[in-house]
C-alpha cells in the first residue's frame, strides 16, 4: 500500500541531500517503511575535517535502518542511502554524518530517542519496552548514551556544599551513595556502596569537572563512621553538619526500642508504635485519645516521648542559645537510666560539634529524603532494576538536572 503526501520531507524531518523516494505501508506487519535517496549532484561536508562542498564519491544502498516516531499508531522505519565523500583536504573517504540519528548504527532516530527519554522519567523501562515494542536492553542503551554524555560535560566548578546519604539499590545489603549540591539541589555523583571510598570517588568526579576540594566548605550527612572518615580524609577543609532529620530519626528509634521493651509489661502499649513516632498534629482522633491517656503515665515510653518532643523543640531555638540547651538535654539523657536513651545521649555528645553546627549551617538532607522517596517509588514500579549501572543512570535522570540539549 503506497502512502502519498505533498511534503513528506517536512513530515519526517528529512533534510537535503536526502529526499523521500518511497513510502510503503506493510499491512501484514503493521508498520510504515520510508525510503530515502540522495541527490547525486549534492555537495557535502567532510565528516572528518568539516571541509565543505565535497562531491559524493559513492553511495551505499539501503544498508541502514532507523526506528522513527510512530506514524499514527504504527511503527515507522527509515531506510536511507548513505553517501561517502572523497575529501581533497584530508584525503579520506568517509560516510557522511546522518542528521536524524546520533550515529549510523544506533538504530533509532533522535526524535525516537527523545520520546524514550521522556517516557522513562515517568514509566518503568519494562513498561516503555512493551509500549514501543522494543527490547528493554536496546532502550537502556539510549538512556545510558544521553546520561553519560550529559555527565561528561557537567560543570561542578561552583559546588561549595555537599549533602550525602545512602539508599538501598536492591534487596539485601546493596546500597548506593548519593551526593547532592546543597545549593543547586541536583545530584552530582552516585557511587556504589556506602563506605569511605565513596567520598574518594566523589572527590575525583568533582575535580574532573572543574570543582576544587578546597572550595567545599561544608558537608551534611548522618553519623555513619564510614561517612565521617571519608569526609575527613577527602574533604579535610569542609566542616561536618549532622543532618537534623537523622538526629530525630535516631531519637525515634530509641523511643520505639523503649516501647518494645515495655509493652510486655503494659498491655496498653500494644499497637501504639506510630502514636509515639508521629507528631501530635498528624494523629487521628483515636490515636490522639490514646496518646492523651498514656503520655502522662509513669511509663518509660512516655518519658522518652517527652524527651523526643524536647529535642525537636531545641531545633527551633536561636543559634545563640541552642547549644547550651542541647548540652542540658544530653545530661538529661545520661541521667534518665533508660538504656536506649542513654546510648543516644552518648552518641550525640560524642558528635556534639557536628550536631550543633546545624544551627549555623542550616544544612539538612531534606532534599535527599525527597529524592530517596522518588527513587524508591520508581524502583517499586519497575520491580527493581537489573544492574547498578541502570540504577545509577535512573538517579541521574530523575534528580541530576542534566542538560541534554548539548547533544
CA distance 385 to 392: 10
- Judged against a pLDDT cut of 50, whether residue 329 lies above it is answered with yes
Q: Which residue has the higher pLDDT, 221 or 55?
A: 221
**pLDDT confidence of 180, banded at 50, 70, 90?**
very high
7 Ramachandran zone, left/alpha/beta (phi>0; psi -120 to 50)? beta
CA distance 308 to 330: 12
CA distance 315 to 325: 10
Asked if residue 49 lies in contact with residue 10, where contact means CB atoms within 8 angstroms, the answer is: no
Mean pLDDT (whole number) for 105-113: 87
Average pLDDT value for the chain: 88
- Judged against a pLDDT cut of 80, whether residue 372 lies above it is answered with no
**Kind and range of the H or E run holding 81:** strand 74-86
DSSP for 187-205, written as a single string: EEEEEESSSTHHHHHHHHH
Four-point Cα dihedral 302, 303, 307, 313, nearest 10: 50
- Judged against a pLDDT cut of 70, whether residue 322 lies above it is answered with yes
pLDDT value for 173:
65
30 Ramachandran zone, left/alpha/beta (phi>0; psi -120 to 50)? left
**Nine-digit cell string for 275:** 502514636
Asked if residue 269 lies in contact with residue 295, where contact means CB atoms within 8 angstroms, the answer is: no
> HSE on the CB side for 119, CA within 13 Å?
21
- Judged against a pLDDT cut of 50, whether residue 3 lies above it is answered with no
Task: Characterize the bridge pairing of strands 218-221 and 161-170.
Answer: parallel
Asked if residue 299 lies in contact with residue 290, where contact means CB atoms within 8 angstroms, the answer is: no
Mean pLDDT (whole number) for 312-338: 93
User: Per-residue pLDDT tens for 265-305?
Assistant: 888 888 899 999 998 889 899 999 998 988 888 899 999 99
pLDDT value for 91:
75
Q: Domain limits of the chain?
A: 1-107, 244-361
**pLDDT confidence of 370, banded at 50, 70, 90?**
confident
**Nine-digit cell string for 140:** 537502556
Lowest mean pLDDT of 168-172, 236-240, 285-289, 299-303, name the range: 168-172
Mean pLDDT (whole number) for 231-253: 94
User: Per-residue pLDDT tens for 191-230?
Assistant: 999 999 999 999 999 999 999 999 999 999 999 999 999 9
Please choose, from the candidates 64, 63, 66, the residue with its C-alpha nearest in 3D space to the C-alpha of residue 109.
Answer: 66
CA distance 389 to 384: 12
- Judged against a pLDDT cut of 70, whether residue 2 lies above it is answered with no
Asked if residue 186 lies in contact with residue 154, where contact means CB atoms within 8 angstroms, the answer is: no
Give burial (CB, 10 Å; 0-12/13-18/19+) of 66.
buried
Is 139 in a helix, a strand, or coil?
helix
Asked if residue 293 lies in contact with residue 305, where contact means CB atoms within 8 angstroms, the answer is: no
Give burial (CB, 10 Å; 0-12/13-18/19+) of 104.
middle
Asked if residue 116 lies in contact with residue 132, where contact means CB atoms within 8 angstroms, the answer is: yes
pLDDT value for 381:
66
Mean pLDDT (whole number) for 12-24: 87
- Judged against a pLDDT cut of 50, whether residue 383 lies above it is answered with yes
- Judged against a pLDDT cut of 90, whether residue 385 lies above it is answered with no
Q: Which pTM does this prediction carry? A: 0.85
Mean pLDDT (whole number) for 4-13: 70
Lowest mean pLDDT of 157-166, 210-219, 382-391, name the range: 382-391
List Cβ neighbours of 3 (8 Å cut-off, separation of 6 or more): 23, 24, 25, 32
Amino acid at each position: 500500500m503506497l502512502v502519498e503526501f505533498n511534503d513528506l520531507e517536512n513530515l519526517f524531518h528529512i533534510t537535503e541531500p536526502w529526499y523521500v523516494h518511497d513510502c510503503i505501508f506493510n499491512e501484514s506487519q503493521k508498520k510504515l517503511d520510508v525510503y530515502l535517496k540522495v541527490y547525486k549532484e549534492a555537495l557535502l561536508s567532510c565528516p572528518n575535517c568539516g571541509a565543505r562542498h565535497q562531491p559524493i564519491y559513492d553511495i551505499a544502498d539501503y544498508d541502514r535502518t532507523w526506528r522513527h516516531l510512530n506514524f499514527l499508531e504504527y511503527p515507522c522505519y527509515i531506510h536511507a542511502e548513505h553517501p561517502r565523500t572523497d575529501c581533497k583536504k584530508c584525503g579520506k573517504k568517509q560516510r557522511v554524518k546522518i542528521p536524524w540519528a546520533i550515529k549510523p548504527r544506533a538504530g533509532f532516530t533522535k526524535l525516537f530517542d527523545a520520546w524514550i527519554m521522556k517516557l522513562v522519567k515517568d514509566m518503568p523501562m519494562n513498561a516503555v519496552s512493551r509500549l514501543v515494542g522494543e527490547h528493554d536492553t536496546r532502550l537502556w542503551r539510549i538512556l545510558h548514551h544521553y546520561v553519560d554524555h550529559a555527565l561528561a560535560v557537567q560543570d561542578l566548578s561552583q559546588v561549595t556544599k555537599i549533602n550525602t546519604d545512602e539508599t538501598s539499590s536492591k534487596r539485601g545489603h546493596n546500597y548506593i551513595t548519593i551526593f547532592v549540591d546543597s545549593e543547586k539541589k541536583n545530584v552530582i555523583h552516585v557511587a556504589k556502596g556506602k563506605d569511605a571510598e565513596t567520598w574518594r570517588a566523589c572527590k575525583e568526579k568533582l575535580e574532573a569537572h572543574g570543582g576544587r576540594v578546597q572550595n567545599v566548605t561544608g558537608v551534611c550527612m548522618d553519623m555513619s563512621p564510614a561517612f565521617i572518615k571519608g569526609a575527613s580524609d577527602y574533604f579535610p577543609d569542609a566542616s561536618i553538619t549532622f543532618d537534623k532529620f537523622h538526629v530525630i530519626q535516631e531519637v525515634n528509634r530509641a523511643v520505639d526500642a523503649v516501647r518494645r521493651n515495655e509493652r510486655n509489661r503494659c498491655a496498653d502499649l500494644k499497637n501504639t508504635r506510630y502514636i509515639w513516632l508521629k507528631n501530635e498534629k498528624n494523629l487521628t482522633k483515636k490515636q490522639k485519645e490514646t496518646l492523651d491517656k498514656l503520655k502522662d503515665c509513669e511509663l518509660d515510653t512516655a518519658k522518652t516521648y517527652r524527651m523526643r518532643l524536647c529535642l525537636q523543640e531545641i531545633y527551633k531555638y536561636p543559634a545563640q542559645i541552642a547549644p547550651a540547651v542541647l548540652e542540658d538535654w544530653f545530661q538529661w539523657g545520661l541521667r534518665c537510666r533508660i538504656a536506649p536513651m542513654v546510648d543516644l545521649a552518648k552518641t550525640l555528645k560524642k558528635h556534639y560539634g557536628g550536631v550543633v553546627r546545624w544551627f549555623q549551617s542550616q544544612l539538612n538532607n531534606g532534599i535527599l529524603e525527597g529524592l530517596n522517596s522518588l527513587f524508591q517509588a520508581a524502583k517499586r514500579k519497575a520491580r527493581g532494576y537489573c544492574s547498578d549501572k541502570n540504577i545509577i543512570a535512573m538517579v541521574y535522570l530523575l534528580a541530576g538536572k542534566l542538560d541534554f540539549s548539548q547533544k
